[in-house]
Amino acid sequence: MPMPPSEDAQTRYAAALRLMQAGRMAEARTALTALLASHPDSPEIRAQLARIAHEEGDFATRADHLDRALAARPGMPALLDAAVAAFADAGRVEDALAAHDARIAAARKPLHAAADKGIYLQRIGRFDEAEALFRELIARAPFEGVLYRTFLATHRLAADDPLMGRLRKAANNPKVGDETRVHALFALAKALEDQGAHDEVFPVLHRANRLQRRLAPYDRAAREAEDAAIRAAQDRAALDPIDLEAALAPVFVTGMPRSGTTLAEQIVGAHPDATAGGELALALRLAHARFAANGRLAALRSLKDPDLARYAASYLHGVRRATGARRGTVTDKSIQSHLVYGYLARALPGARFVVIDRDPRDVALSIYKTHFALGTHRYANDLADIAAAIKAFRASVAAWQDRLGDRLVRVAYEDLVGDPEPAARRLVAAAGLDWDPACLTFHERGGAVRTLSIAQVRQPIHGGRRAAWRRYETEMQPFIDAWGDDPWD
């Protein structure tokens, strides 16, 4: 964003940007704040100060700067994009919705911008408003499969709803793109199951998964080799933590997708001394960024304490940036964190590790029914590959259990939903926290949530999702055959 034409202002502004690019955020903030004193209406300066606040996890300041920037330059697309996220993160719900509306008005593709507003309405639990918006959008674009799939994440479509006819046409229209049709097929399978039309569910799911598999092929051997190399880099390394003091205590809540990690995180995150971070996707990515050379991770046993301290600092900075938390317990339910438990155990003395176990048959069924972003969880489109992925995860956790001892606690999903309080107490203790009754009333907290289980976190704990696989035992046979004689528990 260019500054006003004053040569001195441009020079000072450019110098502040160079400081930001060098990561010297405190100095950049000082320089920009001084510049703002003489240019109080500059949206450019405000936007850069908002970026700095974002890097520092200061949600309130970030939102305030963008609010003022928009007052000076209303309707500017880049500012609106930033403001939508900033207001949402700061909990300024009505301001976020207003920014969504302004973004829709300014967008070249208003349909996509409006769908983003619908997703936000779902995240804040305003499902009726989301429904009204998605029905309007579908009327305008009846073959956009993603609209149906997103809408039905929080809505049960009745068999006599006129939308069912439109959904079937969208799912069966060969003229639309394959990716669009994948969304519609997953949405149709979900609608059919909600209606109790169970005989129709798996034929639709097979079509959805075959098509998704064609769009994003999976190489099981390559994936297993990659994961094995990551584990091998941590072999024979002592896992004693380095000497490091940190105000944040991360709790890595890990499990296969659809295993109950969201429920576990919501229980811990409802504690007054904790923050639910969601899938932060930091630990593995930063391990590669810090320790990889020529595509391979450096051996953990070869790393010096300063190397690990820098890894910890990068991770904790990312946590603050994503959550705004400055102290206390923060959960991270990133799926792949188990691959780098060794690096995390060494680098983060306060880290704790919680694994959620669930009946593999229920996990597999739920994975197969779920649409994941194209290119992620590629194994999810084949029942035999799902079996292999769950086995690999269980083997990884078992190996880390032997090495981490009581720093790793396993909790059964069936216990959490069957007899919630004892299991929740154990879970909260595993996170290093004293018990608080608020942990069992997480569904009453309000606020925005970002998870595939968006509807479930608005409900109290119940046991209705156990042994769901039995209804589809015949259809699940390829998974059961691939599982073989291994125990289910």
CATH number for the domain spanning 314: value is 3.40.50.300
DSSP 3-state helix, strand, coil percentages of the chain (rounded to 5)?
A: 65, 5, 30
CB 436 within 8 A of CB 428: yes
Determine, yes or no, domain membership for 292: yes
In a shared domain, residues 91 and 158: no
pLDDT tens track for 226-264: 999 999 999 999 999 999 999 999 999 999 999 999 999
Determine, yes or no, domain membership for 489: no
Residues in the chain with pLDDT < 50?
Answer: 1, 452, 458
Query: What pLDDT, on a 0 to 100 scale, did the predictor assign at position 466?
Result: 73
Give me the CATH number covering residue 19.
Answer: 1.25.40.10
Q: Select from 86, 108, 130 the last residue of a domain.
A: 108
Query: What pLDDT, on a 0 to 100 scale, did the predictor assign at position 109?
Result: 87
- CA–CA distance, 77 with 103 (Å, rounded to integer): 7
Determine, yes or no, domain membership for 184: yes
In a shared domain, residues 446 and 479: yes
Determine, yes or no, domain membership for 378: yes
Domain holding 124, by residue range, is 120-215
Q: Select from 215, 247, 262 the last residue of a domain.
A: 215
Backbone angles phi, psi at 143, to 5 degrees: -110, 10
In a shared domain, residues 374 and 454: yes
With a CB cutoff of 8 Å and minimum separation 6, the contacts of 193 are 201, 369
Write out the DSSP string of 103-115: HHHH-SSHHHHHH
Task: Outline where DSSP puts E strands in 204-322.
Answer: 248-254, 274-276, 292-293, 296-297
To the nearest 10 degrees (0 to 180), the angle between helices 178-194 and 145-152 is 30
Query: What pLDDT, on a 0 to 100 scale, did the predictor assign at position 42?
Result: 92
Query: What pLDDT, on a 0 to 100 scale, did the predictor assign at position 453?
Result: 54
Query: What pLDDT, on a 0 to 100 scale, did the predictor assign at position 47?
Result: 96
Query: What pLDDT, on a 0 to 100 scale, did the predictor assign at position 2?
Result: 52
288 CA to centre of own chain: 19
Determine which helix (DSSP H) or strand (DSSP E) holds 412, and give its type and residue range: strand 408-412
